[in-house]
Amino acid sequence: IDEKKNAVETAKSAAKDARDKQTEAKTAEADAKKAEAESRAKAALAAGRIKDPDLPVTAEEKAQAKLQNEEGIKSQKEEIVTSEQAIQILQESGQANQKNMREAQAKTPAQNVALLKKHQKEFEDAWGIKK
């Protein structure tokens, strides 16, 4: 009977050892598969970088690129608004200059204009005006 008990205990111990080793093997296999998947992902990222080094690949790089794009768009929109305002100011000042010129011409006595036309060359030479 003791021999049977010892045989049963030995068999139970062997079975337990086998189950423990099977569990360890499954864990090791799962770890290996996980490491393989990570390696494949890293290889894919590296291949993407080789193909187009400037293209963002990781989620962090993509988020950074998106942020930079949004900031660039905002900056360009602000520049457009500023340019449109500058154009408006230039148009208004050009119209005001034309109005002032017409008013000045209307107020200028005709004899002054005739005198300047008569001595235009001397006037241009004196003021360094070159045509």
In this predicted structure, what is the pLDDT of residue 100?
Answer: 94
In this predicted structure, what is the pLDDT of residue 58?
Answer: 81
Phi first, then psi: what are they for 4, rounded to 5°? -65, -45
In this predicted structure, what is the pLDDT of residue 94?
Answer: 95
Q: 116 vs 28, 124, 125, CA distance in Å?
A: 103, 10, 13
C-alpha to C-alpha distance for 63 and 61, rounded to whole angstroms:
5
pLDDT tens digits, the chain, 131 residues: what are they?
Answer: 788 888 888 999 999 999 999 999 999 999 999 999 999 988 888 887 788 877 887 888 889 999 999 999 999 999 999 999 999 999 999 999 999 999 998 999 989 989 999 999 998 999 898 87
User: What pTM does this model have?
Assistant: 0.46
In this predicted structure, what is the pLDDT of residue 61?
Answer: 87
Phi-psi region of 128 (alpha: psi -120 to 50; beta: other; left: phi over 0): left
CA pseudo-torsion sign 109, 111, 114, 116 = negative
In this predicted structure, what is the pLDDT of residue 89?
Answer: 96
**One-letter-per-residue 3-state SS of 55-101:** CCCCHHHHHHHHHHHHHHHHHHHHHHHHHHHHHHHHHHHHHHHHHHH
